[in-house]
């Protein structure tokens, strides 16, 4: 494992066209989670009593849009919801935060994407996801919103909408010279090979990296070697999120482990989405990659100390107070925090 050593590498920047627009376009899923807590999960065919249930707004697209907006970004979102109460609630939450939602598709023929989560008191869980309206986020719909692509400095995507739509959006964004960030979650092996050269930053975790490359990810050294397989496919920068260990940047200049701030985590749900939203804001503003990843790490370290996904995202004020403490050049200090 090695780090960047030369000054130019440590200040490595990603060129962002139309940075003065400073708008982030998030394309992705909007879900409502229905969470049921019980003493233990039921066996097949068994009925058990639940202790309580609640709704958690989420979906990777909505989480990332919300995180980016709270972190100070000008954010617009494209995706699909139903006309049911869950869809109405999702749009209300995003709009209240300041996300531009007017172009999100309302599909009266589909329910809003829903995840049914059964969780036991021992931490075990079973999850059933019904994509619903997310499956209608089509290439045609995205093409109809070309104006949002032209206004954006950065386009941020995940893989909870149809792959064809993700591919179409990336090609549309890159044809305009936009910065493209792909969070390959949930990971899949059938991403077209010609798509990778169009991605400026890809942000898998270890598991997702292993699915994408087939390579081992048990150690940081193995993660670096697997990340290099994505570079060979044409991706410009790989940022692997490693939880409490931080994030590993791998590109043609080398590899750099950006450490995480030590915290007592209570809920890691949505931490990756928080990371991606804040990373998009930082890069769109012209921040060097290393600093942008550090800022995203700090944001995620706040989110894991709060329960929920969308509801755990830090505000710009939260983030700035930490940034003043930890953004100095000696990043070993971050691990001591």
Output the six-digit token pair for 100. Answer: 């531009």
For the stretch 159-192, what's the b/e string if a residue is b when 16 or more beta carbons lie within 10 angstroms of its beta carbon?
bbbbeebbbbbbebbbeeebbbbbbbbebeeebe
Mean pLDDT, residues 283-302 taken together: 95
- Cβ contact 333:297 at 8 Å: no
Q: How far apart are CA 325 and CA 22, in angstroms?
A: 25
- Average confidence score pLDDT of the chain: 89
Confidence of residue 223 (pLDDT cuts 50, 70, 90): very high
Mean pLDDT, residues 47-52 taken together: 93
Neighbours of 318 (CB within 10 A): 16
Mean pLDDT, residues 304-328 taken together: 85
List, for residues 177-192, the tens digit of each pLDDT value.
999 999 999 999 999 9
- Helices 316-326 and 289-303, axial angle in degrees (round to 10): 120
Confidence of residue 98 (pLDDT cuts 50, 70, 90): very high
Give the per-residue pLDDT at 267.
81
Mean pLDDT, residues 220-244 taken together: 96
The verdict on whether 273 is a catalytic residue reads yes
List, for residues 14-44, the tens digit of each pLDDT value.
655 554 445 999 999 999 989 898 999 999 8
Per-residue pLDDT at 114 exceeds 90: yes
Give the per-residue pLDDT at 306.
86
Give the per-residue pLDDT at 126.
83
Output the six-digit token pair for 255. Answer: 């590899």
- Helices 271-284 and 289-303, axial angle in degrees (round to 10): 150
Per-residue pLDDT at 1 exceeds 50: no
Among the ranges given (1-5, 22-26, 39-43, 158-162), the one the predictor scored with the smallest mean pLDDT:
1-5
Query: Which of 273, 318, 329, 330 is labelled catalytic?
Result: 273
Per-residue pLDDT at 218 exceeds 70: yes
Distances (CA, A) of 36 to 39, 63, 78: 10, 21, 29
- Please, what is the Cα angle at 289 between 286 and 291, to 5 degrees? 90
Output the six-digit token pair for 128. Answer: 């059933």
List, for residues 128-146, the tens digit of each pLDDT value.
889 999 999 999 999 999 9
List, for residues 293-305, the tens digit of each pLDDT value.
999 999 999 998 8
Neighbours of 333 (CB within 10 A): 14
- Cβ contact 321:299 at 8 Å: no
Non-local CB neighbours of 174 within 8 Å, separated by 6+ positions: 180, 198
Biggest CA-to-CA distance, the chain:
62
What is the residue whose two structure tokens read 């995940």?
Answer: 158
Give the single-character DSSP code of 205: B
Output the six-digit token pair for 153. Answer: 């400095």
Alpha helices in 193-269 (DSSP H): 206-213, 220-233
Confidence of residue 71 (pLDDT cuts 50, 70, 90): very high
């Amino acid at each position: 494992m090695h780090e960047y050593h030369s000054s130019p590498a440590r200040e490595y920047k990603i060129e962002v066209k139309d940075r003065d627009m400073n708008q982030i376009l998030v394309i992705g899923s909007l879900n409502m989670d229905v969470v049921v807590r019980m003493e233990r999960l039921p066996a097949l065919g068994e009925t058990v009593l639940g202790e309580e249930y609640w709704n958690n707004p989420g979906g990777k697209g909505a989480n990332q849009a919300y995180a980016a907006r709270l972190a100070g970004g000008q954010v617009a979102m494209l995706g699909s919801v139903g006309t049911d109460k869950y869809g109405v609630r999702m749009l209300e939450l995003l709009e209240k935060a300041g996300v531009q939602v007017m172009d999100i598709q309302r599909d009266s023929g589909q329910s809003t994407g829903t995840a049914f989560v059964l969780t036991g008191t021992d931490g075990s869980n079973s999850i059933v996801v019904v994509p619903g309206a997310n499956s209608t986020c089509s290439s045609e719909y995205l093409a109809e919103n070309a104006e949002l692509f032209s206004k954006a400095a950065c386009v941020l995507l995940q893989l909870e909408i149809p792959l064809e739509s993700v591919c179409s959006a990336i090609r549309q964004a890159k044809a305009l010279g936009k910065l493209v960030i792909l969070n390959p979650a949930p990971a899949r092996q059938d991403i077209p090979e010609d798509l990778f050269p169009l991605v400026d930053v890809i942000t898998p975790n270890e598991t997702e990296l292993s699915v994408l490359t087939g390579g081992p990810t048990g150690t940081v050294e193995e993660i670096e070697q697997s990340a290099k397989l994505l570079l060979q496919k044409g991706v410009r920068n790989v940022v692997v999120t490693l939880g409490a260990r931080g994030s590993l940047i791998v590109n043609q200049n080398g590899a750099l482990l950006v450490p995480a701030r030590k915290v007592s985590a209570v809920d890691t749900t949505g931490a990756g989405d928080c990371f991606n939203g804040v990373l998009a804001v930082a890069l769109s503003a012209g921040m060097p990659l290393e600093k942008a990843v550090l800022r995203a790490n700090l944001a995620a370290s706040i989110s894991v100390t709060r329960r929920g996904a969308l509801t755990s995202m830090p505000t710009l004020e939260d983030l700035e107070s930490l940034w003043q403490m930890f953004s100095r050049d000696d990043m070993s200090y971050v691990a001591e925090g």
